[in-house]
Structure 1
């Protein structure tokens, strides 16, 4: 089922007195249980497209439809609530809170996302997610004792603990070596299928494209090619 539709999205900004167009009418549909990868050279518009889809910045024109709701017509508070409760984010670096254990990182996310998971069930849900990402044995560890791959696994667990419908991943393997990159991408793909979520990923690493169901190649603010 299609859960996300990006319709004729454009993004412009002023560079001094010159108007520049970063996105030039992008159309894209995202389905549940699938990984879609955006790939292209620096400046192609892929990260801009991801941030617009995620409600982190508005489109200049066009529509972003999530789960039947037009985010383009919502006010900032309505978009914030969707972003907090329905979206999860994984970035190039894990950005874990240094003084919180792995378990506490996830507890914090449940709080800030205003999760509907009842308090008495949160510990059990945390154990379940940490088991899914292979980090249940490290739940009392602090970030300083984790490897790069382990930190990214915790970041992924944190991104999905509140049961979002969409996972946005911006260069999630860029800071990892080849083996850890493959491990992380395999994890993202498996979680997308197991939890039936929708994943939109930006990457520059073409080796990671084999883990995607769909590959969108972008250049100069346009979709050059869409591959299944």
Structure 2
């Protein structure tokens, strides 16, 4: 599904250079949950955001489903992110003035899904049922707990039926019970829908939900 070849990322400062990724090679299989693990500063989140097309690499190649992302124009990359990818981050980043159901409806529109109104409503209800948030369908984010907001963020990331889900430290701000609930939801939906998942975590307890663990250290992959 995804192939990364000789990926490098450097930042320039004055006459110096700070390399944050160094010759990274990795393949992600379709329908598999892969966890990026490692200490803070090892390059995990940088690697995820580059693969997701949220920032550019300095060198290297990323191929997603046969398409080389590094060859795409910004407009093409933006459309691919919106339609093919889903994103969940440590903070839910919900739109404060939209209800739970409207958060999902907005994502459907952004992804360009040409579903009928009935089909859209059925998919929204089914997704909210899957994350146990149907009872909060008409609620606004400021009336939700942290765990509830993260479940809405999961629903929003998956409502448009993406092929790849990127999850960056999604349980970092949750207690152990809510972390377990969130990861079980992600795993169950990903397995049911055959979604490729790349998640970044430093929480050893969350690694049990991955099919494969990739360890990073000093800007490189040391164990895949």
Tell me the TM-score range normalised by the shorter chain. Answer: over 0.9
Q: Which digits, 9 at most, give the CA deviation of each residue in 1:51-110, with x for residues without a partner?
A: 100001111111100110011111111111100100010000111122211111111111
Matched with 1:102 is 100
1:83-94 equivalence runs, <5 A: 83-94=81-92
Q: In the alignment, is the contact (CA less than 8 A) between 1:117 and 1:162 conserved in 2?
A: no
1:1-228 equivalence runs, <5 A: 3-226=1-224
Distance 2:9 2:143 in 1: 42
RMSD of aligned Cα (Å)? 1.1
> Displacement of 1:204 after TM fit?
1.1
Distance 2:115 2:26 in 1: 32
Distance 2:166 2:174 in 1: 18
Q: In the alignment, is the contact (CA less than 8 A) between 1:65 and 1:71 conserved in 2?
A: yes
Aligned-partner SS, 1:192: helix
Q: Structure 1: which 5+ runs fail to align?
A: none
> Displacement of 1:165 after TM fit?
0.4
For these two proteins, the number of residue pairs brought into alignment is 224
Distance 1:91 1:20 in 2: 25
Q: Which digits, 9 at most, give the CA deviation of each residue in 1:91-130, with x for residues without a partner?
A: 0011112221111111111112222333331001101111
> Displacement of 1:31 after TM fit?
1.5
Q: Which digits, 9 at most, give the CA deviation of each residue in 1:19-50, with x for residues without a partner?
A: 22111111111122211111111111111100
> Displacement of 1:15 after TM fit?
2.3
Q: TM-score, normalised by structure 1?
A: 0.95
Aligned-partner SS, 1:100: coil
Q: TM-score, normalised by structure 2?
A: 0.97
Distance 2:86 2:9 in 1: 23
Aligned-partner SS, 1:200: strand
